[in-house]
Structure formats: C-alpha cells, structure tokens
Amino acid sequence: MKKQEFVVGLDIGTTKICAMIGRHHESGVVEIMGTGVTPSKGLRKGVVINLESTIDSVERAIEEAEGESGVEVTRVFTGIAGGHIRGVNSRGVVGISRTSREVNRRDVERVINAAKAVAIPLEQEVIHVIPQEFTVDDQDGVKNPIGMSANRLGAEVHIVTGAVTSAQNIIKSVNRAGFEVEDIVLGPLASAEAVLSPEEKRSGVVLIDIGGGTTDMVIFSRGSIRHSEVLALGGDHVTNDVSIGLRTSPKQAEEVKKAYGCATVSLIKGEEFFHYPGMEGRRGGKVSLSQLCEIIEPRIEELFTLVNADIDRTGLSRSVSAGAVLTGGASLLRGLPEMAERILRLPLRLGKTNGRIRGLGKGKDSPIYATAVGLVHYGLTYRQGKKMARFKGRNLFSQVALRMKEWLGEFF
Ligand SMILES: Nc1ncnc2c1ncn2[C@@H]1O[C@H](COP(=O)(O)OP(=O)(O)OP(=O)(O)O)[C@@H](O)[C@H]1O
Ligand SMILES: [Mg+2]
C-alpha cells in the first residue's frame, strides 16, 4: 500500500499512548485498519518527564498497530495538550521624554516590550504578541498612536504563550522511536474532529476532555475555536484520593474506582458494602458505596466548578447553545454527567466517536480513544494540499513555535 493512502494518529496521553491507523473507505467513511495501545509512564499532567519510557511506549504502540493493520508506519500525526497554548492580557506604559513629545515607531516597540514583561509561567514561551489598543496620556482606545503627541504611551496586548519545549519533547520522543511527525495538532481540536458535529460547532459548544492527568476544554462558536484551556486535574486525582481514603495502592484504588465509583452521592440507593484488598499483603477493608462516593464527589465537584468559572470568564457562556460534550476516559465515571449538568447548567451529552467511521475494534468507540480517532480524521482531512511539515533537525524550536502561531491563524 502506498504510504500516502493511510494516516497514523498518535495520542500521547498521561495514562496511555494510542496509535491508530486509518484510511478513506469507498463508502465515504473512515476505516480504522489497526490500533495499538500501551500504558504511558513517561508523562505527568500531559508533559513528558521521562523521554526513555515515552520512546519505549511509542514504539510499542506503533508496533502493535502495524501488526494489526499489516502496514509499515513512517510518519504520524500527533496531538499536543491544549495547555500548551494560552492567552493572557497585559499592559505596559512608557514615558515620552523628547521635547517634541511625538510618538514614533520606537516608542511603540518600547511600550509593547514593557507590556511583554509579565510573569510567564515556567515552561511557557511567548510565541505571539497581539497589540489590542494604545492609551495616549488618558485617552484610551487608540488604534495607531504614531505621530500623536503624548507624555505617556500605554499599550494593551494579548500575549500568547506556548510550551514550545514540551511540544519539542513530544516530537523528540516520536523521532527517537524512529518516526517522523507529519503534523502536531492541538489535542482537544483532534478530539473535536471525532466527537462534535459541524452543527454543534456552529451553534456553540464546550468540549471537555477529562483524561488521566488533565482536563482540556475548548469552546467553539460560529464554527471556529474561540477558547482553549487546560486544567491540571483529571481521573488520576480521583484515583489518588481513593487510594489515600481507603489506604490502598493506586492500582487497587483504580480498580475500585472503575468498578464502584460514583461522582454523585444522591444516585446511590441503599447501603451496599464491598470488600477491597489492602496494600501489599496488608489486610484490606470493607466500605459502603456511599462512603466511597463521599471521597469522589468533592473532587469532581471541584473540577466542574473550575470548568464553570473558566467558561464564565470567557464571556462565551451565552453562545454555547449546543451545551457541553464530555469525552476522555474519566467521563466514564458513574454520576459524573449528572454532576456536570448540575454545575454547568448546560445541556450535556457524552462524546463517543461519531458515525463516520468503521473498523474500530471492540471497545474502541470509548471516549478514551476520541483523540486518536480524531487525529486520524484530522490527518485525512487536512493532509491534502498542505505542504508537508517535518518536525526534526536543529531548528525544531522555531518549527514548533511557527506551527503554534499558525494554529492561532487557523483556529482563533
Ligand atoms: N470506566 C471508567 N470509569 C471511571 N474512570 C475511568 C474509566 N475508564 C477510564 N477511566 C479513567 O480515565 C482516565 C484516563 O483517561 P484517558 O485515557 O482519556 O487519559 P489520557 O488521554 O491518557 O490522559 P491525558 O489526556 O490527561 O493526558 C484515568 O484516570 C482512568 O481512571
Ligand atoms: Mg487524553
């Protein structure tokens, strides 16, 4: 088979790495030819912290997908967590001390530099600065101050920052595993390809991808992405709470959470108890379903309170008439949709990968695989007519920064 006929989506998540190979099928849908999934051990909160184990998991996931599909993989489309791109507003002021007091191009540069001097979070680099408006003495709302007379010049800018280095580390892991990166895609944007309909994007919708280490959210309206944010909270925090609460190992806590966990205490009827094993041969215990849920509920409540505050801050809450769509593995937690609906006060549905697909293996239509399926859709849709992006070599940093800038043009 010719290489161009299929695309490979590679979702590098905090809990699992998933490679999916797909192609166009005659019937007009996408056919998935093979999938490989391995546990991910080298990431924390969506960021690579151990290159070697990430390389190893990438290799194994792709090998498995190659085996299932019978094709040889050379290039992949890979997702980057939404938190890598963030916008902050900032302002700066400079004095104009020359006798003419006439603002020139140098002054504009100076004031923009002053506005840029905000505290940028660790790992984030400024990739773009968009001047919004200027203030000339006390007069605000000035679009172009050059030539005006002033004692003071102020600027309001929107600074876009991106974790270029962590995106670089994702690409490095893929390269070192022996593959090229055909394109990097904003993760939640890939999930959106898989679970949202064009109507939802037009009417306005919030997509919330609750993974293991992070919750990524994006807001679409009028067909385009308007906002992207990542919260460093996910299903693994719930597991951690259960592990502490029951004094059991994270592995057992994970099993208990999936089997009995619920995020809304009021859904529990009656007093049902279950036994769970203790840590490394220690005696386990017995707990009621409602006791377990009392551990879980506050965490999920906290998560959606943060999501809600973020939606409010964007001022877009009135433009999301299609409501919210939940995806990611943690959205499978019982009682979670009920909690989300109560706090967000939006119509809600669970985002399974939509109907334009065939050949997904058993269980692979789960929201856990939405990003990988979305990357395949994205690759098949956007590969045509695009010049090949190749992320490798010495200029990796600037290549990644450039691609992030392009996202802004494409999506914001
Ligand atoms: N049936 C289930 N019930 C409750 N939680 C579940 C279930 N299945 C998976 N999860 C949780 O989903 C999380 C993993 O989700 P997912 O695979 O989407 O994460 P990821 O993509 O690896 O991580 P991230 O997107 O944060 O980098 C884990 O915390 C896991 O406990
Ligand atoms: Mg994920």
Is residue 208 in some structural domain?
Answer: yes
23 C-alpha vs ligand 1 centroid, how far in Å? Answer: 26
User: What is the pLDDT averaged over residues 144-158?
Assistant: 92
Is residue 262 in some structural domain?
Answer: yes
Is residue 234 in some structural domain?
Answer: yes
> 93 with 237, same domain?
no
> Which residues 6+ apart lie within 8 Å of 163 measured at CB?
47, 83, 84, 123, 124, 125
Is residue 263 in some structural domain?
Answer: yes
Is residue 296 in some structural domain?
Answer: yes
Q: Which of 316, 336, 351 is the last residue of a domain?
A: 351
> 241 with 98, same domain?
no
Give the count of domains, the chain. Answer: 2
Q: Which of 326, 351, 376 is the last residue of a domain?
A: 351
Residue with the nearest Cα to atom 9 of ligand 1? Answer: 329
Residue with the nearest Cα to atom 15 of ligand 1? Answer: 329
Contact 361, 69 (CB under 8 A): no
Ligand 1 atom with minimal separation from the 366 CA:
8
> Which ligand is nearest the CA of 211, by number?
1
Backbone φ and ψ of 82, nearest 5° = -60, -25
pLDDT per residue as tens digits for the range 197-225 = 999 999 999 999 999 999 998 898 888 77
> 316 with 230, same domain?
yes
pLDDT per residue as tens digits for the range 176-202 = 999 999 988 888 888 998 999 999 999
The strands making up 180-186's β-sheet, listed across from edge to edge, are 180-186, 75-80, 6-12, 16-24, 30-39, 357-358
In this prediction, residue 409 has a pLDDT band, given cuts at 50, 70 and 90, of low
pLDDT of residue 266: 95
> 202 with 329, same domain?
yes
pLDDT per residue as tens digits for the range 354-407 = 678 899 888 888 999 999 999 999 999 877 655 555 677 677 778 887 877 777
Element (H, E) at 94: strand 85-95
pLDDT per residue as tens digits for the range 115-146 = 988 877 767 777 677 787 899 999 998 989 99
Residue 224: give its domain's CATH number: 3.30.420.40
> 229 with 299, same domain?
yes
> 134 with 230, same domain?
no
Full-model pTM: 0.84
> 323 with 262, same domain?
yes
326 C-alpha vs ligand 1 centroid, how far in Å? Answer: 12
Residue with the nearest Cα to atom 31 of ligand 1? Answer: 235
The domain of 134 spans: 84-162
> 148 with 241, same domain?
no
CA distance 164 to 331: 29
User: What is the pLDDT averaged over residues 315-342?
Assistant: 95
Ligand 1 atom with minimal separation from the 214 CA:
26
pLDDT at 4 over 90: no
> Is there an atom of ligand 1 within 6 Å of 239 CB?
yes
User: Please, is 109 exposed, middle or buried when counting C-beta atoms within 10 Å of its C-beta (0-12, 13-18, 19+)?
Assistant: exposed
Ligand 1 atom with minimal separation from the 330 CA:
12
Ligand 1 atom with minimal separation from the 254 CA:
31
> Which ligand is nearest the CA of 236, by number?
1
Is residue 341 in some structural domain?
Answer: yes
CA distance 365 to 363: 5
User: What is the pLDDT averaged over residues 5-21?
Assistant: 95
Residue 114: give its domain's CATH number: 3.30.1490.110
In this prediction, residue 241 has a pLDDT band, given cuts at 50, 70 and 90, of very high
Q: Which of 117, 144, 162 is the last residue of a domain?
A: 162
> 331 with 223, same domain?
yes
> Is there an atom of ligand 1 within 6 Å of 35 CB?
no
Q: Closest Cα partner for 264 from 232, 235, 299, 240?
A: 299
pLDDT per residue as tens digits for the range 264-321 = 999 999 889 999 888 777 788 899 999 999 999 999 999 999 999 999 998 889 989 9
> 228 with 344, same domain?
yes
> 336 with 212, same domain?
yes
Is residue 67 in some structural domain?
Answer: no
> Which ligand is nearest the CA of 331, by number?
1
398 C-alpha vs ligand 2 centroid, how far in Å? Answer: 25
DSSP-assigned beta bridge partners for residue 334: 262
Is residue 4 in some structural domain?
Answer: no
Q: Closest Cα partner for 61 from 82, 45, 78?
A: 78
> Is there an atom of ligand 1 within 6 Å of 331 CB?
no
CA distance 174 to 330: 26
pLDDT per residue as tens digits for the range 77-105 = 998 875 666 777 789 999 998 888 999 99
> 344 with 207, same domain?
yes
pLDDT of residue 82: 56
Mapped onto helix, strand or coil, the DSSP state of residue 106 is helix
Share of the chain above pLDDT 70, in %: 94
Residue with the nearest Cα to atom 13 of ligand 1? Answer: 212
